[in-house]
Chain A
């Protein structure tokens, strides 16, 4: 925070900090040009905000000790809480709170419950059960539907869409457990040469899917029609260069 002396059109200099009372700081500033001085006095909330930064206004004479703020900020008992309550009672009455501006002249808008409900509904993130297969162009078997219903609601539309896209591509009308399983293993768009496939087996099982994806991405960038040993070599070089 800085203050400007409007008379001299210059920043005022920070001079010192004093503590005029419990929960308050007086921060002194002076104009280097005309010598005008003033003090900003903080209320307890502002004082606490400054101390929450873990800094000392004006700079430190000695380096901070370990956990200085944590140790200094922890309260051993319940003392000290009444100060702010008294402050608020004294300075902010109920009248002030109840006469807060409400947009005079504007008709009061009727509350419609949650202010975000319309947005949520628009995004299709509500708690509806629209993902059930009864709205689908496909016939879902009962066991397939049961499995779908067990997936978390937020990913269900994505999963359902993926399975149906696979079924559509394959020309299926009915979705059963087998179709669901098969849809997980849809082959990638770019074919792999047997030698490249064999070479991928050098990568441990757990990270092989990531590796496959990364290599296919490189091939796509190159516009390659097939994953060949040359593409594999390029991928290897890329990872060697990362190290």
Chain B
């Protein structure tokens, strides 16, 4: 007579004797404990690649730091980390201590965590393991590596931690990575005015909202082109981010024109720090708006 497995299992008490569940629970506790010392946790995402997420993340971090905040940047674009290069920090390494990994410190005291700190120059990320079966395990490996980036870096007390997410939309990794961060305060979306970018960004917003991630607003990057010779700005793309924001009920946090000088400067690892620069001022304005949105309830309670 065939045995009733369901009945047997119903009578048994599960024990975690391989200690797997226990260790995964410990991982989550470690993430929570590390993040508890960070006052505000933000992710910068897009869905579309090449719109300037990292450039936006770095400049927002610099703007927060200029306003006196203690800032960390977590670059979780594992396969294309570029935050260290932009901040002139290539070649630096984490310092491993019993408390965790001490992050290298960049301009204006910004603490940075990036895969780049594990790699030799020009070396790609390559994992041990059977690459011909990578669809089975690579996603899981990357998610747990990101978990280590969140849990193992000794950030200390921070006012803001900005996480630069990799590109990807819809049921892809970025919104899931964002879901890893406990008590996430919100996501800043980056787009260009091109229809192609806007289409993908919208999917990312929809997916993020489905996961309960609060989308704070949109930064329009490469909104216009600033001629390095005459300073006149012209359109780069045809599109209307403002109207898209209205349709999505999302604040437009600011517009950043494409400036070849800015791009060159970051390519050389020389971040723009000149407080008189019009671009720097625009990032400062965006950060002020982000702070207003984050402190919305406080402002309402105080000023209404």
Contacts and interface: CB of A to CB of B under 8 A. Distances in A.
A71 interface: yes
Contacts of A52: 137, 140-141, 144
B223 to A, nearest CB: 14
B133 A84 contact: yes
Given A4-B8, A49-B140, A67-B101, A236 B18 contact: no
Nearest to B251: A206
A84 B130 contact: yes
Interface in A65-96: 65-75, 78, 80-81, 83-85, 87-88
A73 B127 contact: yes
Contacts of B27: 54
A150 B239 contact: yes
Given A9-B3, A153-B195, A44 B130 contact: yes
Contact of A75 (B8, B126, B239, B292): B126
A5 to B, nearest CB: 10
A243 B243 contact: no
B23 A81 contact: no
A121 B131 CA distance: 37
A209 B133 CA distance: 51
Nearest to B5: A4
Interface residues of A, number: 73
Contacts of A23: 130
B19 interface: yes
Interface string A137-150: 00000000001001
Given A67-B101, A73-B127, A49 B118 contact: no
Contacts of A192: none
Given A65-B96, A84-B130, A150-B238, A53 B24 contact: yes
Interface residues of B, number: 67
A211 B300 contact: yes
A55 B20 contact: yes
A202 interface: yes
Contact of A85 (B3, B132, B144): B132
A206 B140 contact: no
A70 B28 CA distance: 17
B117 to A, nearest CB: 10
A66, A71, A206, A214 — which one has the most chain B CB atoms within 10 A of its CB? Answer: A66
Interface string B284-304: 000001001100111111011
Nearest to B21: A55
B23 A56 contact: yes
Interface of A: 1-2, 4, 6, 9-11, 13-14, 23, 27, 44-45, 48-49, 51-60, 65-75, 78, 80-81, 83-85, 87-88, 147, 150-155, 158-159, 162, 184, 199-200, 202-204, 206-207, 209-211, 214, 232, 235-236, 239-240, 242-243
11 contacts: A53-B144, A54-B148, A55-B23, A65-B96, A70-B148, A73-B141, A84-B132, A152-B198, A162-B247, A200-B304, A209-B251
Interface of B: 3, 5, 8-9, 11-12, 14-15, 17-20, 22-24, 27, 94, 96-97, 100-101, 115, 118, 125-133, 136-137, 140-141, 144-145, 147-149, 152-153, 195, 198-199, 202, 238-240, 243-244, 246-248, 251, 289, 292-293, 296-301, 303-304
